[in-house]
Amino acid sequence: MQKIIDGFLRFQKEVFPERSELFKKLADQQNPKVLFVTCSDSRVVPELLTQQEPGDLFVIRNAGNIVPSYGPEPGGVSATVEYAVSVLKVSDIVICGHSNCGAMAAISSCQCLDHLPAVAHWLRYADAAKAIVFAREHANQRARADDLVRENVVAQLANIRTHPAVALALAQHTLNLHGWVYDIENGLIEALDGESTKFVPLAENPAVSAT
């Protein structure tokens, strides 16, 4: 904790004064244009990856970058999606998976999660991706896990489309969806091309989207 406290004190003394005008503007309102859904993994930092300032991204983080399908008992993820689209009027939603994801590794290896019942229940929202991946042949376990990371992004994009606010915004052409996979080791991002349904390098295809 001391390292974290020291970091805050450095922020308060050195960083905050340099951006005081920005924080003054943000004190009473926010106007993010992008909802960024990604994993809770400590190695994935959305603002760092995209070089965005405070106030630029509305972020949801959870194990496996999962968005449950909309249902009669919507939870925190559903409420946050609804708020982002209906109130903040974001124009884009990014669902970003990442390499070496512990959640996807557990699913792809059929790891026993009896001692983690809440985790096991949560990861059932990736069942569609699991079914697709397990129907394919893979050279090894790592290849299967990597495949699942990508298919999970596709599955969560399908899930988020079931949310009424998202469905309406898509129908009105005021919202775009994006599926990304971040490679931690190489600092690269692959993006889902909605037309080809393939993941392509974002650096070479900056305009690509899932919609």
Range of the domain at 14: 1-30
Q: What's the pLDDT at 149?
A: 98
Whether residue 73 is predicted with pLDDT greater than 90 in this model: the reply is no
In this structure, the answer to whether residues 12 and 104 fall within a common structural domain is: no
208 in any annotated domain:
no
Among 98, 45, 39, 47, smallest CA distance to 66 is for: 39
Q: What is the pLDDT of residues 12-59, one digit of tens each?
A: 999 999 999 999 999 999 999 999 999 999 999 999 999 999 999 999
Q: In whole angstroms, give the CA distance from residue 133 to residue 130.
A: 5
In this structure, the answer to whether residues 5 and 37 fall within a common structural domain is: no
39 in any annotated domain:
yes
In this structure, the answer to whether residues 70 and 22 fall within a common structural domain is: no
In this structure, the answer to whether residues 20 and 40 fall within a common structural domain is: no
- Indicate which residues carry an active-site annotation: 39, 41, 43, 98, 101
Q: What's the alpha-carbon Rg for the chain, to the nearest Å?
A: 18
In this structure, the answer to whether residues 18 and 101 fall within a common structural domain is: no
State both tokens at 55: 């106030």
In this structure, the answer to whether residues 91 and 2 fall within a common structural domain is: no
Strand partners, 61: 38
CA distances to 99, 102, 136, 190 from 105, in Å: 10, 5, 16, 19
Q: What is the pLDDT of residues 121-176, one digit of tens each?
A: 999 999 999 999 999 999 999 999 999 999 999 999 999 999 999 999 999 999 99
Whether residue 117 is predicted with pLDDT greater than 90 in this model: the reply is yes
Q: How many domains does the chain have?
A: 2
Q: What is the pLDDT of residues 88-116, one digit of tens each?
A: 999 999 999 999 999 999 999 999 999 99
Look over the chain and give the mean of its residue pLDDT values, rounded to a whole number. 97
- Res. 72 pLDDT band, cuts 50 70 90: confident
In this structure, the answer to whether residues 18 and 103 fall within a common structural domain is: no
Whether residue 74 is predicted with pLDDT greater than 90 in this model: the reply is no
In this structure, the answer to whether residues 15 and 52 fall within a common structural domain is: no
Which distant-in-sequence residues (6+ apart) come within 8 Å of 145 by Cβ? 100, 101, 104, 105, 108, 109
211 in any annotated domain:
no
Strand partners, 35: 58, 93
CATH number at residue 139: 3.40.1050.10
4 in any annotated domain:
yes
In this structure, the answer to whether residues 21 and 119 fall within a common structural domain is: no
In this structure, the answer to whether residues 65 and 10 fall within a common structural domain is: no
User: In the chain, which residue ranges form alpha helices assigned H by DSSP?
Assistant: 2-10, 16-18, 20-26, 46-50, 76-86, 102-108, 117-123, 127-134, 141-160, 164-171
